Structure 1
C-alpha cells in the first residue's frame, strides 16, 4: 500500500508535468515549438553571451544552443523542465526509464546514450556535433582529462550548485530560457509554501530521508543543510530531523538509524536495470528482516514511505514529485 501511494502521486503529478511540456518531446531543438514558448523567451538578452561557469571560466556562446549534450545524467530533469531535451547524455536510457519523473518522456524523447559517466563515448559525441556540452564541477565527479577532451568537441560549461533554483537559473542562462525558469521557480516556491502550511501540524514529528547503500544495512542520509527544500523552516517544507541528524550527507549504519529513531522514514529508490525492467529497489531483504529494522518506531507505526530515485539527483521535477509524495504520505 505504501508503494502504491508513491505510484499514484507519481502518475497524477506527471500528468500535469506532461501537459506543460508535451509540445517539445519529439524535438530536441532548444527553439520553442509553440507561440506561448516564444513569448516566454521574448525580450531576453541577445546572443552572443558570455557565461561564467563553476570553474570560473568565461565561455562565450555565439548563438542560442540547439544541440546540447550532458555528461552528467543528473542534469536531465533540469533540461526537461526547461523544455530543452538534450541530444545526448550519459546513462540516457537508464535515466529516462529509471526515473519516475522522466518515464513519461522515454517513448518520445530522442536522447542518444553516451554510456558510462566516467567513460562516456566521445566518438559518438563527436558524430552528434553538439554546439554545447554541460558537465559537472562537483568534487569527486569532475574529471579534468575528460573536460579537456570534451572541450575539443564543443564549448563546455560546468555546474556545481546543490541548490535546485540556482541550477535552473544558470542552465536557463545558457539556453536562453530565463523567463521560463523564473516562472517554474515561482510555481515551485508557491507549492513549497502551501505544503509547509499543510505539514505545520507535524512539527513535533521527526523525519529522515535516506537510501540504502550497497544492500548491506548502511544508509546514506539526505542531509538537512544541503537539502533546504525538505528541512528549512522558512523556505522549505520545514520537516523536523531527529536528534543527531547530520547537516551534511554521510553514511550511517542501521544501528545509527535506530539511535535516531525517526517517526517517519522516507526511503529513496535505487536505479533499476534493463534486466529487471528498470524497477527501483528500496530496501534489501536482509535489512527488512533485521530485528533492528523491525524495532524502529516508523516501522512499528507503518510510517515507512517511498520516494522516487530521481530525488537523489535533486532536479526540479523530482522536487515537485517529492513534495507531493511527502505531503500525501504524512497527512492522508
Structure 2
C-alpha cells in the first residue's frame, strides 16, 4: 500500500486507517484504463495554514488546515489555497466517494466503455443522493470536453492518473483549476481517504470506512453459510458474457466461484457458462442492455438448461456498482445478504 496524500494525519487517525484497510479490493483488476482510471504522498501544511472548522458525522468538531499541498499519483505537487467548493469530476468513478463524504460535485462526466449511459436518478447506487441535486453533465468520460469543464467553473478537477487521454489535455486543464490525479489501483478505503484529504473530511472518511467494513463483515457471515452456492458476476457486450468478478471481490465477500470462472476479466460464451452452471447469475451492468441480452437468449436450449434460469436466480445489479467504491461495496454487501436469505 502506498503512503496517503498530502495532509499528514494524527497518530490516532493513522492507527484507525491501518485497521480500516483490511477489506479492500484492488481496482486495477476490475476495469480497463479507458473506462476508469498510490495513495498520494502528503506534504505538511505551511505554518501560515488557515484553519477551517467543520462538523463531522458524529457532531464532533474537526479542524482542516489550508492551504495544503498534495502530491498526486502522477507526482504533481498541487496547492489548494482553500477548501474546494466547486468540484469537477472527469469520470463518475469518484462520484460515490464524494457522496459518501457528504459532498456533491458541481460537474461530472458520464458514460461507460460500452457507450451506454443511464441517469443518476435511475441508478440504485446514486438515486438516494440525487434528491434536489443538480450535477452538470460533462458528456462522455472517454473524451474530455474542455469547454464544458471551463463552464463548470471548478475550484479543483479530479480524475484518475490512467484516465485515457488525460496527458494530452493536462496542461490545458491546469489553466482552468488545480488538477489532482488519483490512483485507481488503490483500495477503496485509500481512495476514499485521498478524496477526503482534498476536501478536508478525513474524519468523515474514517467513519464511512468503519461503517462499510462492518456491513461487508455481516454479508460475509451470511454468505459463509452457503458455500455450496456458486456465484457468477457478469457484464455483457450484447454478444457474450464478460466476467468481472475479480479474485479479491470473491475473497472480500466470501463468495464461491463456479468451476471454470476466469481469474481476470474476459468474454466467455454461453456454452462456457453452461459448463459452470452457477447457482446465481448476476449481471452488474446497464439494465436495459442486459435485459435485452437475456431476452435474446430465451430461445436457446443451452440457456434454458441452466439451473439458475430454471429456478429464477438471474439478478440485475446497478452497473455503477462495478466501481467497487465505498457506496458500491456497501450496497453489494446489502444485496448479497438479501440474496443469500431468499431461500
| Matching of residue 111 in structure 1 with residue 121 in structure 2 | no
Change (3 A) 1:296 1:251: same
Aligned to 2:170: 147
Q: Give 1 or 2: higher helix fraction.
A: 1
| Residue 291 of structure 1 pairs with residue 291 of structure 2 | no
1:268 corresponding residue in structure 2: 284
- Within 5 Å, give how 1:101-180 maps onto structure 2: 101-138=125-162, 141-162=164-185, 163-180=187-204
Partner secondary structure for residue 93 of structure 2: helix
> Does residue 247 in structure 1 map to residue 263 in structure 2?
yes
Structure 1 match to 2:110? 91
1:68 equivalenced with 2:84 (yes/no): no
1:191 Cα deviation (Å)? 0.9
Return the TM-score normalized by structure 2: 0.75
Q: Distance in 2 between matches of 1:329 and 1:68?
A: 36
| Unaligned segments of structure 1, at least 5 residues | 1-31, 273-278
> 2:150 & 2:286 partners in 1: Cα distance?
31
Q: How big is the shift at 1:71?
A: 0.3
Paired position in structure 1 for 2:207: 183
Distance 1:51 1:35, change over 3 A: closer
**SS in structure 2 of the partner of residue 123 of structure 1:** helix
Instruction: State how 1:181-260 maps to structure 2 within 5 Å.
Output: 181-213=205-237, 215-216=238-239, 218-225=240-247, 228=248, 230-232=249-251, 236-260=252-276
Return the TM-score normalized by structure 1. Answer: 0.77
Question: 2 CA distance for matches of 1:82 and 1:35?
Answer: 12
Cα distance in 2, alignment partners of residues 66 and 253 from structure 1: 47
Aligned-pair RMSD on alpha carbons? 2.6
1:24-74 Cα deviation digits (max 9, x unpaired): xxxxxxxx9985559556134x22222222222222222211111000012
1:250 offset after TM fit, Å?
1.8
Given the superposition, is the C-alpha separation of residues 176 and 243 from structure 1 closer, same or farther in structure 2, using an over 3 Å criterion? Answer: same
Say if 2:156 and 2:179, in contact at 8 Å, map to a contact too: yes
**Cross-structure match for 1:43:** 63
Looking at structure 1, the residues matched to 61 and 196 of structure 2 have their Cα atoms a distance apart, in angstroms, of 10
Task: Report the Cα distance in structure 2 between the residues aligned to 1:35 and 1:54, rounded to whole angstroms.
Answer: 29
8 Å contact kept, 2:236–2:290: no
Q: Confirm or deny: 8 A CA contact 2:125 2:321 kept in the other structure.
A: no
Distance in 1 of aligned mates of 2:66 and 2:105: 20
Q: Is the 8 A contact 2:219 2:336 kept in 1?
A: no
Question: What 5-or-longer segments of structure 2 have no aligned partner?
Answer: 1-51, 112-116
Alpha carbons of structure 1 residues 42 and 282: separation in structure 2 relative to 1, 3 Å = farther
> Residue 97 and residue 284 in structure 1: after superposition, are their counterparts in 2 closer, same or farther (change >3 A)?
same
CA contact (8 A) 1:72 1:135 kept: yes
Question: Residue 204 of structure 1 aligns to a residue in which SS?
Answer: coil
Preserved contact between residue 50 and residue 61 of structure 1 (Cα < 8 Å): yes
CA displacement, residues 65-85 of structure 1 (integer Å, 9 cap, x when unaligned) = 111100001221111111111
Structure 1 position 124, deviation (Å): 3.1
Pick closer, same or farther for the CA change 1:155–1:281 going to 2, 3 Å: farther
Aligned length: 285
| Cα pair distance change 1:142/1:262, threshold 3 Å | farther
SS of corresponding position for 2:66:
coil
Displacement after TM superposition at 1:208 (Å)? 0.9
Match of 2:322 in 1: 312
Which residue is 1:26 aligned to?
A: none
Give deviations 1:76-104, integer Å, cap 9, x for gaps. Answer: 11111111110111129944224212123
Q: Secondary structure at the match of 1:114?
A: strand
